[in-house]
Amino acid sequence: MIVAPFDNLASTIQSLIDGGSISVGAEIEVGSYVGTGVTTHSATNPAKLTFNKPPKFVRIFYFNNSSESAKNGGFFGTFFPTLGYGSVQRDVTNVSYAFAAPYVVTLNGNTMEWYTVDEVSVGSANNYKHLQQDNLTYYYVAIC
């Protein structure tokens, strides 16, 4: 599992923006969540993350150092909420375990919601492909 000073990273980047060292209007937000174990194939019960401003780009990732890492480790999601789409992929070099699937991404105020309609690729029971493996901590970086 990744252990990284994300809170420090956020405050450092924010202070650079506030101080004018990075002259952008964007805000970078970082954080984490623990997976709920839920798989979602419809808009009725999507996964959710809330930000301080509507996010334009969100990257979610984790790395699992367990023996299952070849199969289940290294998943990451790349989402463009204002454009309405994103994808989840498996970040492994073993092509037998390659995986990528499109996800529907919506914005509800400052909350990003995501789910997949690609049940064939994702499967009905594979919550890790939804970035929702239970009891696993996921980290995110967003440009808002």
Partner 1 sequence: MQIIEIKPLGNGAHRNQKGSIRTVPDGWAIVPNDMAIPDTFPFVDIEVENGIVTSMTAGIVPEREETEPEPTELEQLRADVDYIAVMTGVEL
Report 62-121 residues binding partner 1 (CB under 8 A). 71-72, 95-97, 109-111
**Per CB under 8 A, does 24 bind partner 1?**
no
Give the C-alpha separation, 5 to 27, whole Å: 18
Smaller CB separation from partner 1, 102 or 123: 123
Smaller CB separation from partner 1, 76 or 128: 128
Query: Helices in the chain by DSSP H: which ranges?
Result: 6-18, 69-72, 119-122
DSSP state of 35: B
Of 75, 68, 112, 110, whose CA–CA distance to 92 is shortest?
75
| Interface positions with partner 1 (CB under 8 A) | 7, 10, 14, 29-38, 45, 47-52, 71-72, 95-97, 109-111, 123-128, 134-135, 140
